[in-house]
């Protein structure tokens, strides 16, 4: 697939930001979703050379289109070459038009990193899970500790409360 042809798809809206959000960054660069960092860099360089505005300066009609495509190619590369942004983009959480939500973006990047770390951990065995369940059911046997090893504020005494108050019916 010629990435130049794919770059123009879904561009009836005009603006570079709106067009970029309507088009898949992978299709824009002409690569597959599982492309390596080297493949992403190679595709970017090839397309950046092809659509660089300086190459089209002699043709004013094409210069505007070249500039728009070049900006979209740069945006796609800036997202796909950044591991955190790429993970958010792949998860459907990256919005290039929303610059105000940097805190949420940072939070989601941290969550994705934590999820990757969990994937790399050794999974719990059936025996481990049984032991955890046993510990949760038994508790600490007389130490009056609650969830997570914390002592309840009432010193370990618990009062049972009916889940729904009983209503009295009038006759």
Q: Are residues 85 and 44 in the same domain?
A: yes
Angle (CA) 34 39 40, round 5°:
85
Residues 93 and 104 in one domain: no
Looking at the structure, tell me whether residues 49 and 107 fall in a common domain. no
Alpha helices in 23-159 (DSSP H): 25-29, 37-51, 60-80, 83-90, 102-120, 126-138
Q: Kindly report the average pLDDT of the chain as a whole number.
A: 73
**Residue 109 is encoded by which pair of tokens?**
């990047």
- pLDDT score, position 164: 56
Give 9-56 pLDDT, tens digit per residue.
333 333 344 334 446 899 999 999 999 999 999 999 999 999 998 888
For the stretch 11-18, contacts whose Cβ atoms lie closer than 8 Å and that sit 24 or more positions apart, written own/partner, are: 16/68, 16/71, 16/72, 16/75, 17/96, 17/97, 18/97
Q: Which residue has tokens 């983009």?
A: 89
Task: Write the CA distances from 165 to 81, 160, 161, integer angstroms.
Answer: 58, 13, 9
Does any domain span residue 87?
A: yes
> Residue 116: inside a domain, yes or no?
yes
Specify whether 55 is located in the same domain as 91.
yes
* 164, part of any domain: no
In a domain, 124, yes or no: yes
User: Is 30 domain-assigned?
Assistant: yes
Say if 159 falls within a structural domain.
Answer: no
Mapped onto helix, strand or coil, the DSSP state of residue 166 is coil
> Do 75 and 123 belong to one domain?
no
Q: 27 with 79, same domain? A: yes
- Residue 104 structural domain: 100-139
CA distance 151 to 97: 47
Q: How far apart are CA 133 and CA 121, in angstroms?
A: 20
Other C-beta atoms closer than 10 Å to the C-beta of 157 total 7
More confident residue, 75 or 109: 75
Structure tokens at 87: 């993970």
Same domain (yes/no): 134, 86: no
**Res 82 pLDDT > 80:** yes
Instruction: Give the tokens for residue 133.
Output: 């369940």
- Region 57-69 average pLDDT: 88
Q: What is the pTM of this model?
A: 0.50
Mark whether 72 and 114 lie in a shared domain. no
Give the whole-angstrom CA distance, residue 139 versus residue 135: 6
Same domain, yes or no: 120 and 71: no
User: Do 119 and 36 reside in the same domain of the chain?
Assistant: no
Whether pLDDT at 108 is above 60: yes
Write phi, then psi, for 58 (nearest 5 degrees): -75, -15
The CATH number for 10's domain is: 1.10.287.110
Same domain, 88 and 28: yes
Based on the structure, what is the number of domains in the chain? 2
- pLDDT, residue 106, reads 74
Q: What's the confidence (pLDDT) of residue 141?
A: 56
Same domain, 35 and 119: no
Mean pLDDT of 125-151: 71
């Amino acid at each position: 697939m010629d990435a130049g042809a794919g770059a123009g798809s879904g561009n009836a809206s005009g603006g570079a930001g709106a067009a970029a959000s309507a088009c898949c960054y992978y299709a824009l660069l002409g690569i597959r979703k599982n492309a390596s960092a080297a493949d992403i860099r190679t595709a970017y360089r090839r397309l950046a050379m092809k659509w660089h505005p300086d190459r089209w300066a002699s043709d004013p009609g094409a210069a505007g289109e070249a500039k728009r495509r070049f900006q979209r190619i740069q945006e796609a590369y800036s997202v796909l070459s950044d591991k955190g942004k790429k993970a958010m983009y792949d998860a459907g959480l990256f919005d290039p038009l929303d610059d105000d939500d940097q805190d949420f973006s940072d939070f989601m990047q941290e969550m994705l990193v934590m999820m990757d770390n969990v994937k790399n951990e050794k999974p719990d065995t059936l025996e481990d899970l049984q032991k955890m369940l046993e510990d949760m059911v038994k508790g600490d046997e007389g130490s009056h500790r609650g969830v997570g090893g914390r002592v309840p504020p009432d010193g370990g005494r618990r009062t049972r409360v009916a889940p729904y108050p009983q209503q009295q019916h009038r006759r």
